[in-house]
Amino acid sequence: MSGGMTWRCGDLGGGRIVLVSYYTKYPLAVAQSGSYPNQVIVNSTMKQTDPWAIWTVTDLTRPYVSVFPPPATPSPPVPTTASLVSPCNVVDGDVVTLQSDTGNFIARCHGCIPNAMYPDAAFVPNTTNASSANWKVFNTGTGKLAFQADSGKFLARCNGCAPTTPDQAFVHVSDWQGQPWAQWTCVDLGKGKVALQADSGNFLARCNGCERGTAYADSATVYMNTWQNAPWAQWSLVDQTPRTGAFLGADSARHRCGQ
């Protein structure tokens, strides 16, 4: 099945859903004006919260007719924590945090590596998701992600930019397009954790004491050739973007996306 025919279904509750294209990341909606009034389109101007992007689902197979034996009463669903299918499946512009094995968050750190080529490096100092630890995510269209810091620049592998570590993570790239070192392959490890693979093939990892004379002990480097048996190369990726019910299964009724 082509990407243009694949949809992510979000349950808004009360029999209402929103359908988002996996290919364009935009919702299916009824055009309100322009060249296609009252036609169903997928357009970048539409938002998931627009009334014309919300659909009411009616199950026409109910009630059952001439069924023997009668259908069993379904058991109530087991309460679960709402989440996307994979933490790697993010919507362009969503804000996420990356939490390390120590519990601290990866963050932009200004002036934290003396004599570095660029002022902003990536460290793992924050115990809370401060603004410097919030990253706006963009899909590259090639299965990779780009992470934009609060400064507007992107997280990237930088070779020879720090005095000690050959490949240190810096926040110095203005535009991820055409810059493979600012694009990360997201590997879903399960249980909300991911590994981020750089263009070099190595993985983003926390490194304790790898840069001398720095403001913090734990810097973010790109030196691990595997994430396996290496918790310091595994990150809990959490989408911090508020939702208005979409993708969260807001009510207690059976989810319409599962019918």
- Give kind and range of the element (H or E) at residue 109: strand 105-110
Domain spans, the chain: 1-59+243-259, 95-239
Q: Given a cut of 90, is residue 130 above it in pLDDT?
A: no
Rounded Cα distance, 185 and 119, in Å: 25
What are the two backbone dihedrals, phi and then psi, of residue 121, each rounded to the nearest 5 degrees?
Answer: -110, 170
**Most confidently modeled of 59-63, 225-229, 249-253?**
225-229
One-letter amino acid for residue 144 of the chain: K
Rounded Cα distance, 224 and 184, in Å: 14
User: Do the Cβ atoms of 71 and 94 come closer than 8 Å?
Assistant: no
pLDDT band at 249 (very low <50, low <70, confident <90, very high): very low
At the topology level of CATH, where does 95-239 sit? Answer: Trefoil (Acidic Fibroblast Growth Factor, subunit A) (2.80.10)
95 is written with which tokens? Answer: 């804000």
Taking only the tens place, the pLDDT of each residue in 133-160 is 999 999 998 889 999 999 999 999 999 9
Least confident of 30-34, 187-191, 203-207, 251-255: 251-255
DSSP assignment letter at 27: B
249 is written with which tokens? Answer: 């299964």
DSSP assignment letter at 102: T
